[in-house]
C-alpha cells in the first residue's frame, strides 16, 4: 500500500503568478482534501474532492481551485498569487468512510 505523495517539495513564485501543486492519493482512496498551513498556525481546510467533484470548501477565494482525476490524484491551483499565500500546502486522502485522513509530506510555497 503506497502512501500519499506530493510534488514539488518546495516552490518559489513571485506575486501575481500562478502555481499548480500535485497530490497522489493512497491506494484505494477516492477522496482528497487540501489544507493550507501558514507559519505558526494550524492547517486550514481549503476544499475536498470526491470522485472528481468538489465536495465542500473552506473560507478560501475562488482563485484557489482544484481538480481530481480518474485515478484519484489531485491538483491544487492558485491564481494571482499573493504574499500571504506563502505556506505549507498539505493534501490528505481518505477512503469512502472518510473518518481517517492520511497526510502527504506537503509542498512549501514561497511567494516573493
Partner 1 sequence: KQEVTQIPAALSVPEGENLVLNCSFTDSAIYNLQWFRQDPGKGLTSLLLIQSSQREQTSGRLNASLDKSSGRSTLYIAASQPGDSATYLCAVLNSGGSNYKLTFGKGTLLTVNP
* Selected binder of partner 1 within 13, 20, 67, 102 (CB under 8 A): 102
C-alpha cell at 95: 477512503
Residues 88 and 107 sit within 8 Å (Cβ to Cβ):
yes
Q: Which is nearer to partner 1, 22 or 108 (CB)?
A: 108
Residues 90 and 45 sit within 8 Å (Cβ to Cβ):
no
Q: Which is nearer to partner 1, 19 or 90 (CB)?
A: 90
| Binding region for partner 1 (CB under 8 A) out of 15-23, 61-69, 70-78, 84-92 | 84-92
| Binding region for partner 1 (CB under 8 A) out of 14-22, 66-74, 75-83, 99-107 | 99-107
Smallest separation, CB 89 to partner 1 (Å): 10
Binding mask 22-61 for partner 1 (x = CB under 8 A): -----------x-x----xxxxxx--x-x----xx-x---
Q: Which is nearer to partner 1, 85 or 101 (CB)?
A: 101
Distance CA 51, CA 64 (A): 19
Spell out a b/e string for 2-24, using b for 16 or more CB atoms within 10 Å of the CB, else e. Answer: eebebeeeeeebeeeeebebbbb
C-alpha cell at 89: 500546502
Amino acid at each position: 500500500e503506497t502512501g500519499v505523495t506530493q510534488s514539488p517539495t518546495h516552490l518559489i513564485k513571485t506575486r501575481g503568478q500562478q502555481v499548480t501543486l500535485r497530490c497522489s492519493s493512497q491506494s484505494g482512496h477516492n477522496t482528497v482534501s487540501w489544507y493550507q498551513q501558514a507559519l505558526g498556525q494550524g492547517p486550514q481546510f481549503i476544499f475536498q474532492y470526491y470522485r472528481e467533484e468538489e465536495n465542500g470548501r473552506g473560507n478560501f477565494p475562488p482563485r484557489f481551485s482544484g481538480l481530481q482525476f480518474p485515478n484519484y490524484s489531485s491538483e491544487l491551483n492558485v491564481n494571482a498569487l499573493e504574499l500571504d499565500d506563502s505556506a505549507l500546502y498539505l493534501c490528505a486522502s481518505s477512503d469512502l468512510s472518510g473518518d481517517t485522513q492520511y497526510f502527504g509530506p506537503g509542498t512549501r510555497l514561497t511567494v516573493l
